[in-house]
Structures are given as C-alpha cells and as structure tokens.
Amino acid sequence: MAVSQHFVTWKPGNDLNGLFLYYWLQLMKCEFEMVAVGSTIKTIGMPYFRSMEILLPPKKEQDWMADAMYRYDHAIALAERLIAGEMKLRKGLMYQLSTGKRRFPGFSEPWREVALGEVTTESSRRNNGELDRTTVRAVTNSVGMIPMREQTIAESLGRYKIIEPRAFAYNPMRINVGSLCMWTGDSPALVSPDYVVFACNESQLDATYFDYLRQTHRWAHYMTAGGNGSVRIRIYYTDLAALRFVIPPYAEQVRIGRFLGSMDRELALLRAQLAALKTQKKGLMQQLLTGKVRVPLPAPTPEDQAAAVVA
C-alpha cells in the first residue's frame, strides 16, 4: 500500500509488537500536538521521531497489553454501533408515533387538529423575591436549560419570569434554531424576562409528548410554515399559538411520551457505558504503556523454553 510522502511510517522489528506501538503513539498524541509546528497544516520533523525514546517491556508483555487494548477498542466499537442503531430506531418510532402511522394497541380514537394556543397557556409571572440567583436558567438548543452565567444575570431579579416544572421557555429571537425546551426540574426556576414562557393545559396536551413533538421534522415544518408564512426575526407566543397541528387523545399522548422516555433512558445508560469504557481504556493505557503498572505474566513453561531454543 502506498502513502503520501508526508507520512511517517514504521516497520516494527522482531522485538516490537506493532499494535503495542500503535497504542503507545496514541498515548503520545498530546505531546505530538505540543511539538507540532505550522499554521495551516502542523507537522513534526523527522529528527524528532529519530530521537524519540520508548520504554519497551518484554515482547510477551507487549502482546498482552496490545491484546487488552484491542479488546477495549472492539467493545467501544460495538457500543457505538449499538447506540447508533438505537438512535435510528428512536428517530423512526418518534416519526411514526407522532404522525399516527403506528399506534399502540387499544387506541383507536381519531386524532384532532388544534392550534397551539388552544392547548397551552402563556405565563408572564414575575419574580417577587421568591427565587434567588441560583435558580436562573438559560435555554440552549443542545442540552436544554442550564444555569445562566453569573456575569449575564441582572442585579435585580424582579423582572425575571418564573417557570414551573414541565413548562416551556424559549428565546423569541432563537426559536427558529430549536431554542425551546421544557424545564425538567422539580421546583420553579427563573428565566430571562425576554423569554417566552408557556405551559401545556392539563388533559389536553401532555408536556412530555409535546417535548418530543417539538424535536420532530413536523415541528420544524410548523415553524417554517406557521405564523404569517415568512421568515420572522422574532416569534412571540401569539405567533406560536397560531400554529396548527394534529394530536392524538390525551391518554395516547401520555403513552407515547412514556415509551419514548424509556428509550431515552436506555440510550443514556448506553452512553454512560460507552464513556466508562473509554475512561477505563485511557486509564489502562496511561498505567500499562508507561510502565507504572506491570503485567504479572506466568513463568515460561518447559515447552516455551524449548521453543525459544529451537527458534
């Protein structure tokens, strides 16, 4: 196989396991980034690689380490494929359940068309000294509501809006990029006075169901086609309230929300397992490939010694 002239290649000798070298070079990545020079494409000169030293354990120990790291890589790849498959399944089921193409057994009532304003209510309740600065939240389009940075919070919290659990908030300047989410905390919080806050009407629109609905392509279509049909700089509640869409009966909404929620919890567990595998691998590499921890290999058998003599 041919490679570019800008590549550096190594051919391991008899005393060096190539896979061991591969993982050792991974461990050296941070150092490589520090010594690399260049503006557009950073490079490392050959003199650096020629002078590079490696702490080399016996060949059998290298083989054991390489095999252990490879097994971790295999487990990580399997976990990543499992997560990708689960996400694809979740996306497909979310579409089918939110459009009525697939329904749970026992639900046969027709869906009805509503305007968002018919099944939600805007809230403009201000903070009256009830909540402090630690409860102020900001809305993001990637991870939901997060604590607002201290330097962006006003000195007075009197105008800040109170958001109750399972209510929604969004920045009217950024809702077109998905900046709308549900407050999942157990107690009220504060959001910017510039935000729009609204809640789902009980027994008409389930908040969990709506939280999943706003993640679908249907919602993106509503945001594009709703209102007065043009690109808007700001979208306030009156604009949002005019959006019309079809929803299932309330009990079916709850069922859909619980089902998708169980899928999200399973995905969270899979992601946690993947993160643990990556952390374990990194820790083992730092311990084993630097010699801080040695592998207790069994003593060679008479057969091994005889094979070594023959070799």
Beta pairing partners, 128? none
What's the CA gap between 166 and 4, in Å, rounded? 56
Residue recorded with tokens 């003199």 = 47
Instruction: Tell me whether residue 185 is in a domain.
Output: yes
User: pLDDT digits over 218-235, tens only?
Assistant: 777 776 654 444 455 678
Distances in Å between the Cα of 217 and the Cα atoms of 69, 92, 186, 212, 301 are 41, 11, 29, 11, 65
Instruction: Tell me whether residue 289 is in a domain.
Output: no
Q: How many domains does the chain have?
A: 1
Percentage of the chain lying above the pLDDT 70 cut = 87
pLDDT of residue 228: 43
Instruction: Tell me whether residue 238 is in a domain.
Output: yes
Instruction: Tell me whether residue 92 is in a domain.
Output: no
Structural domain boundaries enclosing 174:
112-246
Query: Strand, helix or coil at 101?
Result: coil
Q: Is 191 exposed, middle or buried (0-12, 13-18, 19+ CB in 10 A)?
A: buried
Q: Are 201 and 166 in contact (CB under 8 A)?
A: no
Q: Are 123 and 147 in contact (CB under 8 A)?
A: no
Q: What is the CATH number of the domain that holds 217?
A: 3.90.220.20
> Residue 5: which pLDDT band, with cuts at 50, 70 and 90?
low
Q: Are 168 and 136 in contact (CB under 8 A)?
A: no
User: pLDDT digits over 241-297, tens only?
Assistant: 998 889 999 999 999 999 999 999 999 999 999 999 999 999 999 898 888 888 777
- Beta-carbon contacts of residue 285 (< 8 Å; ≥ 6 apart): 23, 26, 27, 69
